[in-house]
Amino acid sequence: MLLPKVALGAIVLALVFWTLLLLMGYSAINQDVNHFSGLSRYQKANLELPRSNPKRIVFFGDSINRSLEPSRTFPNRPYINRGITRQTTFQMLLRFHQDVIDLHPAAVVILAGINDLAGHTGKVSLEQIEANHAAMAEMSGSNHIRVIFASVLPVRSDLGSTRRKKSSP
């Protein structure tokens, strides 16, 4: 089976990333990689979950998802949170398999991209953000996981700025 171009591009990007890590001395920077990708954030919690639940839904994304408490918002539902503050879609791709695919959910709610626009890991094109979303959707579809994309639309053009301009009275 041939992989779609977006999925192939994501795989090539991941292979290049890991090859560079090996060339640079993986063991010396392993902690930084785990910190950058967030791979260690939910590892223990993932292992403690039952193998599968046909009603499980994963809320995946950044700080907006991170602040969600599914057990409080959706009591008695097998919904879990896999949000990490300030993450971009590239970082999310690095942990998508571990924090979504391996959990065998019925669906994943993806809220991602605002930190890309804010430039948290550097400048990124809209096409790359879209490709990262498409790669997550393709990986989900290949594993029979329904995808629900959520969005928070930008409300300012200066997302990278940490200060708000004061308006005059």
- For the chain, list the strands marked E by DSSP: 57-61, 79-83, 107-111, 146-150
pLDDT value for 159: 56
Output b/e per residue, 117-156; b: 16+ Cβ within 10 A: ebebeeebeeebbebbbbbbbbbbeeeebebeeeeeeeee
pLDDT value for 43: 87
In the sheet that holds 146-150, the strands lie side by side as 79-83, 57-61, 107-111, 146-150
- CATH fold of 5-150 reads Rossmann fold (3.40.50)
pLDDT value for 86: 86
Mean pLDDT for back-to-back runs of 10 residues, the chain (169 residues): 63 66 51 65 88 90 76 89 89 92 95 86 90 95 95 66 50
Residue type, 60: F
